[in-house]
Amino acid sequence: MEKSYELNFEAPSFLKRIKGMLSVDFYRIFHTPLFYIFLCIAAIIPAMILGTMGAEGGEALYTNAWNIIAANKPLYVIESIGDYANMNMVFIFGGIMVSIFIGSDYRSGYVKQLFTTHAKKQDYMISKTITCAFSMACMCITYLLGGIAGALFAGNLSFEVDVFSLACAIIGKMIMSIGWAALYTFINVILRKFFGISIALSFFFGTGILIIGVAGIFEAIGIPSVLLNAFLYGSSVFACLDCGIFPLLSVLICLAVSVAWAMIYIVLGTTILSKSDVY
Amino acid sequence: MNAIEIRNLSKSFRGMYAVDHLNMTVPLGSIYGFIGENGSGKSTTQKLICGHLVKDEGEIKLFGKDYTDPGVRARVGALIESAGCFPNSSVYQNLRMQALNLNLADPDKEINRVLDIVRMTDSANIKFKSCSLGMKQRIGIAMALLGDPLLLILDEPINGLDTDGMRIMREILIDITLKYGCTVLISSHLLGELEKIATHYGIIRGGKMIAEISAKDMEKRARVFVSLKTKNLNGACEVLKQKFGNVRIEGEFIRVYDVESSEDIVKHLLENGHVVSQIEKNKVGLEEYYIELMSKKEEK
């Protein structure tokens, strides 16, 4: 007797595909220790800076507790560790987390399962970007809590601040997570065969050394540093306590830059993934 | 309609063809045994069908549609090299993730169903890294079975398994085809095992398909032979050739083809002073067919 088969090939919509992939990524985030470890790291770092590096050559690293979150001014060129050590550091640990997260997709062979079914390369890029951006945004929050705890522990810091500016700076930095996550996803996708290099490169970009160097050159030849806001690190620095414009505008700048770079990296990553083997 | 239709498919690595203008037809509802030596292009072909590798040229159609069609891909499951599971997550968690990716309406019900098919209902909470090779292979099949696939692509799923593991795997694959109407493309070196389940065979060499044959046609061309052992193989062979014609030496045995009764052979040998120490009746199967095909190609 001939068997009858139900040959039903309903193509899942983009939204359905993305929903599926996001569900997997968020399930992984919440069901593995990686996310929680990095949340703790993000909280411990500012607490440690304020607790153990409270003084530099006899002088306090900060006078205002909120400088552990954001600098007073957009400091593209840094002169001391105090200028550098703020919430932007989350994007350094975030890069390492993204490398481990995406690296395990490839090492376990999970991507093979993914791309055998209906998942498309663009879905992968978008889903990883959203999940990792969410993780980094959460790390910003634990960084904030760790910073407050550290400042309270230090005991000699001022908490005086314009709350609206501080909120805009924090939101601006959290928004920057989207662009950073897309950059790290892109790096890890193109360097999927070289886990060590992808971690090192993520770390390198996360530190902002490239933009800090360019800022030095800009300053030397008299080009306005504000142009650096077009880059991820530039905008991340621009989200500060006194950016020189209405604080909400800085949030909008962060949003525009972050989303624009995210789109660029997603398109580039999708193109490269589509034209190359999964392995 | 065929489950898989491949025309002129090629894939090269650094200028060397791994798959060389390959043609392949996998009928709907079949268990297609994909056979070839190491490096013959079996895995590369399967990876191309799964979309893991980008083809250089050629056409791949699944159920009459382009293989990249998301609707078709949603009904494809695969176990290529490894199960693709996270080692520190449990069997259930790994299956749950795949179920989420496929947007299954009732993930728990579906996970229980596939665990039942692969006989692993009691092992759902074990971490994947703690599973044995046989269990990992079965989990890989369970992963591939989620979402009610119409096509399963399995790369060497029985290699490395013990006898019991192979038997379980065999039962699972037959179940999948008969109960769920799934087409299975399975590659393996274990021809004897494939012969027990496959309905069709494809033999690949140097990236080219050198033969495609159904198990029914294989049965039709199957020849009976008597395999025997004597002290003087060459002498006995000459004696048998005079009466039975189609006789040849294979290792330590003489094979006498197309004979009805082995008694005639023993009698004839005794009459000519040869004592038979061992004798058995056999059939030319997949392994012999494969060896014959390979030696023909080598001669060419």
pLDDT tens per residue, range B128-159: 999 998 889 889 989 998 988 999 999 988 87
Asked if residue A179 has pLDDT above 50, the reply is yes
- Closest residue in A to B54 (Cα) is A277
Residue B150: its chain A contacts at CB < 8 A? Answer: 5, 7
B131 in a domain, yes or no? yes
| CATH code for the domain of B139 | 3.40.50.300
- For residue A247, give its domain range: 19-50+63-275
Residue at B55: amino acid letter: K
Contact B264, B271 (CB under 8 A): no
Q: Which residues have CB under 8 Å from B242's CB, separation 6+?
A: none
Q: B195 and B277: one domain? A: no
Q: B209 and B231: one domain? A: no
Of B29, B82, B101, which has the smallest distance from its Cβ to A114's Cβ? B101
Contact A54, A154 (CB under 8 A): yes
Q: Helical H runs in A155-246?
A: 163-190, 195-207, 209-221, 232-238
B174 in a domain, yes or no? yes
Give the pLDDT score at A3.
Answer: 46
Q: Do B74 and A118 touch (CB under 8 A)?
A: yes
* CB-based burial label for B99 (10 Å; 0-12, 13-18, 19+): buried
B69 in a domain, yes or no? yes
Tell me which residues of chain B, numbers 114 to 153, contact chain A at a CB-CB cutoff of 8 Å.
Answer: 143-144, 147, 150, 153
Give the pLDDT score at B259.
Answer: 79
Residue with tokens 């027990």: B196
Q: B202 and B239: one domain? A: no
B85 in a domain, yes or no? yes
Residue A24: its chain B contacts at CB < 8 A? Answer: 97-98, 100-101
Say how far apart CA A184 and CA B194 lie, in whole Å.
45
B43 in a domain, yes or no? yes
Asked if residue A78 has pLDDT above 90, the reply is no
For chains A and B, CB pairs below 8 A equal: 124
Q: Could you give the 3-state DSSP secondary structure of residue B128? A: helix
Q: B195 and B269: one domain? A: no
Residue with tokens 């607790």: A51
Q: B209 and B230: one domain? A: no
What is the tally of structural domains in chain A?
1
Residue with tokens 């590659």: B187
Give the pLDDT score at A105.
Answer: 92
The residues of chain B scoring below 70 in pLDDT are: 296-300
A4 in a domain, yes or no? no
- Of B181, B214, B247, the last residue of a domain is B214
Residue A17: its chain B contacts at CB < 8 A? Answer: 70
Asked if residue A152 has pLDDT above 80, the reply is yes
Contact B94, B88 (CB under 8 A): no
B91 in a domain, yes or no? yes
What is the tally of structural domains in chain B?
2
At residue B142, φ and ψ (nearest 5 deg) are -60, -40
Q: B59 and B79: one domain? A: yes
A14 in a domain, yes or no? no
> CA neighbours within 13 Å on the CB side: how many for B97?
22
Give the pLDDT score at B27.
Answer: 94
Q: Is A73 on the interface with B (CB under 8 A)?
A: no
- For residue B277, give its domain range: 223-283
In tens, the pLDDT along A258-269 reads: 999 999 999 999
Q: B20 and B89: one domain? A: yes
Entry pTM: 0.85
Q: In the predicted model, what is the mean pLDDT of residues A120-138?
A: 96
Say how far apart CA B42 and CA B188 lie, in whole Å.
9
A145 in a domain, yes or no? yes
A58 in a domain, yes or no? no
Asked if residue A68 has pLDDT above 50, the reply is yes
